[in-house]
Amino acid sequence: MEKKTERIKELVKILNEASKAYYQDSSEIMSNFEYDRLYDELTALENETGMVLSNSPSIHVGYEVLSQLPKETHASPMLSLDKTKETESLKSFLGDKTGILSWKLDGLTVVLTYEDGELKKAVTRGNGLVGEVITGNAKVFKNLPVKIPFKGQLIIRGEAVIKYSDFNRINSELEDVDAKYKNPRNLCAGSVRQLSNEITQKRSVNFYAFALIKADGAEFNNSILRQFEWLSEQGFQVVEHRMVTSDDIEENVAYFAEKIKDYELPSDGLVLMFDDIEYGESLGATSKFPRNGIAFKWKDETAVTKLKEIEWSPSRTGLINPVAIFEPVELEGTTVSRASVHNISIMESLELGIGDEIEVYKANMIIPQIAENHTRSGSVQIPDNCPVCGGKTEIRNMNDAKSLYCINEECQAKKIKLYTHFVSRDAMNIDGLSEETLEKFIDRGYIKEFADIYHLNEYEEEIVEAKGFGRKSFENIISAIDNSRNTNVVRLLYSLGIMNIGLSNAKMICKEFDYDIEKIRNAQEEELTDIDGVGEVISDTFTEYFRSEDNNMKLDRLLKELKLEKMESGSSDQQVFSGVNFVITGKVMHFSNRNEVKEKIEELGGKVTGSVTSKTNYLINNDSTSNSSKNKKAKELGIRIITEDEFIQMLP
């Protein structure tokens, strides 16, 4: 009994830490698979022993909300559904009743209130008792009606989600591997909880209704199916659903299981509700679960294999990620042999050891993960030294998860990744300096800091005679370097590779400080946190970077090599493209590249997207007669196609 009691305490601690990371910090310290396994173990022990701790996740929902957003207590607690992975349990649940089977979307639950036909309030689920008010952000969800025909008070629940296509697009725009989002749910949670709804709008958040809580005076014939139909009539997109009985529940589950393989919306299962509203409500609820519905979670396809090694993969920020290398197995139609372990916390929870028998799966049928370690030898040693430079490593706690870092500032991995970032397209845009070329120049001592790139002409003879180079290669590199001397402060700030500073953050910070590099480098933490979208983590790493005398001296030497074009915060009368959406395709002649056209549009208040939609105002294409997919789409939608010359004529 004592061992079981201690195990309960251990499981409560582990699961609460995981919930805190997931709900509050939008991060993960264990996989969903591992969480479900530990949760099931906990509830089994609680049932067996009759002991339930006051802070057990089996009687508490979610985690305390911590944010600068206003908070509001829900009128009634938002309980989670009980769950199963067996279709037989769904049959048993339904009995002789009719049910509604629908997607269980994996995003952020939001409660919406409409009055007199207008959206008045939006609140996140939060911890189930207290949520965050995000009304301004909800108003820019892509598919959400802000006005509806119904004039009574309406309260509904739904899921805010980001489609996989938008998730992949946003991640593809982030060159920094460390800045990329792990999954659509994390990206959505961060997007919905922004203090600026401008950022939310750019993230393409969608809303899908899944429950009607209150609709004064409306009649639904005691049917959830009718509620869904009525919500669609009001302009809402409703989760895809099917009417089911115990006779056909299996074939309907199979339908959804097949569809999820290429479904655009992130989903972690299904929800089954009794269609008979009064019957469902008459069943009441436990302290945690309502009895009118049940969640069905996918049984992931798993494979057992042997762990061959842990590869430690450094990045330009010093973060060293553990990657599991295992004997190849077939999963969801593809061969996989490696999976990110994400951080030290997850590695330790799995007790990984070389030669261990591990069970692997694809999270949401896409991302390889370790589900379980059957051997649990725990023999993997965390390296004391960086695998690249041999320098000392240290474990740091970041968002309640332990991660490994190389602390040697002279680490080659940091340098190569940092310089690769510096010369990238959105930074200094120096074509010809590949990662391989930079590695050679760094090894030979040509480059020790950013400014040295602008003195590579001093090594003309050595470079021309080096293997793989020649006169033409050298001249092309020097030409690209010289072209990069004319740049702007946004590119410069982004190019420095400051941790957590992506291109969008760099733009916001530069604009706030009038594009003045001296004001920017001397910015104080409180000034930075006043900027929408810049929180304490970003302000801390930013000010820490510029507190370094060495970093400032290197920046001074770099500035001597550059000519920064004058940029001004656009006044309202200069924002001629405010509210105007552009798409750019094909070759450009008057600008150096399409990215330069994009910068000009954004500078004047416009927006550039990657695909033509009904919201596009102009497609810029110098070949208006081409049969490209963008041209065809624009013509179908009646969107004006303009040439680069016509665009230039629109400029102030």
Residue 16: predicted pLDDT = 79
Task: Determine what percent of the chain is predicted with pLDDT higher than 90.
Answer: 34
- Greatest mean pLDDT range, 525-529, 568-572, 595-599, 600-604: 525-529
Cβ neighbours of residue 362 closer than 8 Å, sequence gap 6 or more: 300, 301, 331, 332, 336, 368, 369
Residue 244: predicted pLDDT = 95
H-type helices in 218-271, by residue range?
A: 224-233, 249-259
Query: Which residues on neighbouring strands pair with residue 372, listed in sequence order?
Result: 359
Tokens 């090694």 locate to 309
Residue 117 confidence (pLDDT) above 70: yes
Distances (CA, A) of 582 to 317, 461, 591, 633, 636: 34, 47, 16, 14, 16
Distances (CA, A) of 614 to 218, 549, 583, 626, 644: 33, 51, 12, 20, 21
pTM, to two decimals:
0.51
Residue 33: predicted pLDDT = 75
Residue 333 confidence (pLDDT) above 70: no
Q: With contact defined as beta carbons under 8 Å apart, do 88 and 253 qualify?
A: no
* Residues recognised as catalytic: 104
Residue 62 confidence (pLDDT) above 50: no
Q: With contact defined as beta carbons under 8 Å apart, do 433 and 492 qualify?
A: no
d(CA 136, CA 157): 17
Residue 190 confidence (pLDDT) above 90: no
pLDDT digits (tens, 9 = 90+) for 123-162: 998 878 888 889 888 888 988 888 888 999 999 999 999 9
Distances (CA, A) of 369 to 26, 342, 509: 18, 10, 37
Residue 570 confidence (pLDDT) above 60: no
**Helix, strand, coil % in the chain, rounded to nearest 5:** 40, 25, 40
Residue 49 confidence (pLDDT) above 70: yes
- The Cα angle at residue 619 between residues 616 and 620, in degrees rounded to 5: 145
For residues 264-279, give the mean pLDDT. Answer: 93
Query: Which residues on neighbouring strands pair with residue 619, listed in sequence order?
Result: 583, 641
Query: Which residues on neighbouring strands pair with residue 322, listed in sequence order?
Result: 312
Among 210-214, 476-480, 625-629, the range scoring the smallest mean pLDDT is 625-629
Cβ neighbours of residue 575 closer than 8 Å, sequence gap 6 or more: 604, 605
Q: Which residue has the higher pLDDT, 413 or 167?
A: 167
Residue 176: predicted pLDDT = 52
pLDDT digits (tens, 9 = 90+) for 244-254: 999 999 999 99
The token duo for 630 is 């963008």
Cβ neighbours of residue 468 closer than 8 Å, sequence gap 6 or more: none
Q: Long-range CB contacts (< 8 A, 24+ apart) of 112-117?
A: 112/138, 112/144, 112/154, 112/155, 112/156, 112/157, 112/158, 112/207, 113/153, 113/154, 113/155, 114/148, 114/150, 114/153, 114/154, 114/155, 115/153, 115/154, 116/151, 117/147, 117/148, 117/149, 117/150, 117/151
The token duo for 312 is 């430690």
575-604 burial, b at 16+ Cβ within 10 Å, e below that, comes to eebeebbbbbbbebeebeeeeebbbbbebb
Residue 261 confidence (pLDDT) above 70: yes
d(CA 158, CA 239): 8
Query: Which residues on neighbouring strands pair with residue 110, listed in sequence order?
Result: 124, 158
Q: Which residue has the higher pLDDT, 382 or 566?
A: 382
Q: Judging by beta carbons within 10 Å of its beta carbon (0-12, 13-18, 19+), is residue 295 exposed, middle or buried?
A: middle
Q: With contact defined as beta carbons under 8 Å apart, do 196 and 532 qualify?
A: yes
Tokens 């509210």 locate to 579
Residue 64: predicted pLDDT = 44
Residue 26: predicted pLDDT = 54
Residue 511 confidence (pLDDT) above 90: no
- The beta strand positions in 88-142, using DSSP E, are 99-105, 108-115, 118-124, 130-132
The token duo for 338 is 């490696």
The overall average pLDDT reported for the chain is: 85
The token duo for 370 is 């370790």
Residue 63 confidence (pLDDT) above 80: no
Q: Which residue has the higher pLDDT, 23 or 531?
A: 531
Residue 571: predicted pLDDT = 43
The token duo for 162 is 């980001």
Q: How confident is the model at residue 192 (pLDDT cuts 50, 70, 90)?
A: confident
pLDDT digits (tens, 9 = 90+) for 348-368: 989 999 999 999 987 655 678
Task: Determine what percent of the chain is predicted with pLDDT higher than 70.
Answer: 91
- Describe the crossing of helices 32-49 and 2-19 by its angle, rounded to 10 degrees: 140
Look up residue 495 and give its amino acid.
S
d(CA 67, CA 584): 38
Read out DSSP for 339-379? EE--SHHHHHHHT--TT-EEEEEEETTTEEEEEEESS----
User: Looking only at Cα atoms, what is the longest distance across the chain?
Assistant: 86
Residue 537: predicted pLDDT = 78
Residue 201: predicted pLDDT = 82
Residue 68 confidence (pLDDT) above 70: no
